[in-house]
Amino acid sequence: MSAAVADPFAKIRTATNTHRGQHGCGAHPYDNGPLLAALAAATSARRILELGTALGYTALSFASGARDATVDTIERDPDHVRLARDNIAAAAMDHRITVHEGDFAIVLATLDPGYDIAFFDGGTPAPALHKTLRGLLRTGGTLITANLNHGGSADAVRKALFDGKTWRSALTDEDGETAISVKL
Ligand SMILES: C[S@@+](CC[C@H](N)C(=O)[O-])C[C@H]1O[C@@H](n2cnc3c(N)ncnc32)[C@H](O)[C@@H]1O
């Protein structure tokens, strides 16, 4: 089966790559939206938090996987916010996905805890943000961390996720790019 058939949002993923090529920004779309949709479905998620909206590819993937879920997604680039809102409205998902414009740390401070899934896809993971995400995630909730193989502060985050005491974690790929972690 081709990726275009398997991924209902493949066109937005392609548009994100095109946008990055034209604007030289950091809008790298995640590799595997269908994996995120399946995780949302498997966990019967009702509240999903995302850091790093870009053009809305992964927010739409999550929302498509869990039909009763709402998604809060955070993005500071105003062009990305506008394009994501357009894509989300075109997919008729704007009643379930809220794009919060602003810096992660500032917006996170305004959100209520109890999320079922949190997804970090906003550059290199950093311990302080991950601590905040842990606080917003319910016990038994699922944290998905991308870019864990970026080095620097990502190494400290990976160490915490695999401490065996506070998270139950597994890598999804041989490159060590993404971890799925359950909050213990
Ligand atoms: C890798 S892209 C997100 C890709 C998106 N999840 C997808 O798969 O299509 C990272 C995004 O995070 C945004 N970003 C990076 N650091 C941020 C911060 N501190 N606060 C808010 N947005 C940030 C960037 O502008 C960029 O659009």
Residue 49 main-chain phi, psi, to 5 deg: -120, 135
Q: How many helices (H) and strands (E) does the chain have?
A: 8, 7
Q: Which residue reads 């060590």 in tokens?
A: 176
Beta carbons of 115 and 66 less than 8 angstroms apart? no
Tell me if 107 sits within 8 A of 74, measured CB to CB. Answer: yes
The DSSP symbol for 113 reads S
Q: Mind listing the pLDDT tens digit of every residue in the chain (184 residues)? A: 455 558 999 999 999 999 999 989 999 999 999 999 999 999 999 999 999 999 999 999 999 999 999 999 999 999 999 999 999 999 999 999 999 999 999 999 999 999 999 999 999 999 999 999 999 999 999 999 999 999 999 999 999 999 999 999 999 999 999 999 999 9
**Which of 121, 149, 178 gets mutated to test ligand 1 (max ligand atoms within 8 A of its CB)?**
121
Task: Tell me which residue of 172, 152, 183, 184 sits closest to 49, measured CA to CA.
Answer: 183
44 phi and psi angles, rounded to 5 deg: 50, 45
Residue 103 beta carbon below 6 angstroms from any ligand 1 atom: yes
User: Is there an atom of ligand 1 within 6 Å of 150 CB?
Assistant: no
Amino acid at 3: A
Instruction: Give me ligand 1 centre to Cα 103, in Å.
Output: 10
Q: Find out whether the beta carbon of 33 lies less than 6 Å from any atom of ligand 1.
A: no
Contact 40, 109 (CB under 8 A): no
CB 18, CB 40: distance < 8 Å: no
Q: Ligand 1 center to residue 51 CA distance, Å?
A: 6
Kindly state if the Cβ of 108 falls inside 6 Å of ligand 1.
no
Residue 1 confidence (pLDDT)? 47
pTM equals 0.97
Model pLDDT, residue 5? 59
Token reading at 94: 């704007």
Residues 109, 136: contact at Cβ < 8 Å? Answer: no
The pLDDT value recorded for residue 69 is 98
Return the SS3 of 120.
strand
The pLDDT score that the predictor gives to residue 18 is 97
